[in-house]
Chains A and B, each alone.
Chain A
Amino acid sequence: MTATPEFPPLVEAYLADLDRALAGTDPRERAETVAAVREHAVESLARHGRDDEAARRVIGELGPVEHIAAEATPAPAAAPAKVEVTDVVLAALALLVWPLAPVLLVWAIVRLRAGVGNRALQWTTVVLSALPVVVGIVFTVLHVLNRAA
């Protein structure tokens, strides 16, 4: 296999712009489009030369990257985050049964780190249960300090 010859920096920058413009489009179409446009540029530069003027001409013929991206198929929308019963119950318990806060806090963090269930609900549980835990720790420290004094 022949290595891709070095491109004029203008063309390399154009290809990088194109790849960025194609973010959010079908991944296979994105990869194929960038590869095919790269080949097109190789062929075109072989005809017109490799100086800046040739590079500008090739880029001009390929057209604005936004126009190319507008022709590409948008990537399929990601499936909405699933709401699992566990996450709802954890959030509800954090709100209602605050003595369980340390347990709920750890449980929600474990689920967050595992990447399962609904992240928004897990963060709600973390915030709701962290509050009584932090307040509890503060009161305990104050209590100990008062006794020591």
Chain B
Amino acid sequence: MYRMVPTSDIVLTQLRKGVVEYCVLACLRSGPAYGLELAERLGSDSSLLTSEGTLYPLLSRVRQQGWVTTTQVPSAVGPPRRYYEITDEGRAALETFLATWSRFTTDVRTTLES
């Protein structure tokens, strides 16, 4: 059996799954944003994204799930910007996640610190 001590990158990759999409939804609560703006709201140095580009497959998925919609808005600097906006379904999904997450993190902290 192949065994190894996971690197922090491997741990992060696993922790991001099922969490980062809700962080994206949370960033859209304050209003619609285009890609680069959203990447900035998430924080360029944050551990949430491996790199800015990894945001886009995720955005495509949450759009297909109906949690965000996209609208093309004319831009002064070039082609139209694709604005992402959270839907009612997205807000409901985020609410459910928040309630669950709060309980989950409390339990994790209690266990890790015991």
Q: Which residues of A contact B (CB under 8 A)?
A: 1-5, 18, 25, 28-29, 32-33, 35-37, 39-40, 42-44, 46, 61-65, 67-68, 70-73
Contact = CB atoms under 8 A, between A and B. Distances in A.
Interface of B: 34-36, 39, 44, 50-54, 56-61, 63-64, 74-75, 77-82
Contacts of A40: 35-36, 39, 52-53, 56
A29 B60 contact: yes
A111 B82 CA distance: 47
Contacts, number: 90
A33 B62 CA distance: 12
The DSSP consensus for interface residues of chain A is helix
B79 A62 contact: no
Contact of A2 (B51, B58, B78): B78
A147 B78 CA distance: 82
Given A42-B77, A71-B58, A62 B34 contact: no
B70 to A, nearest CB: 9
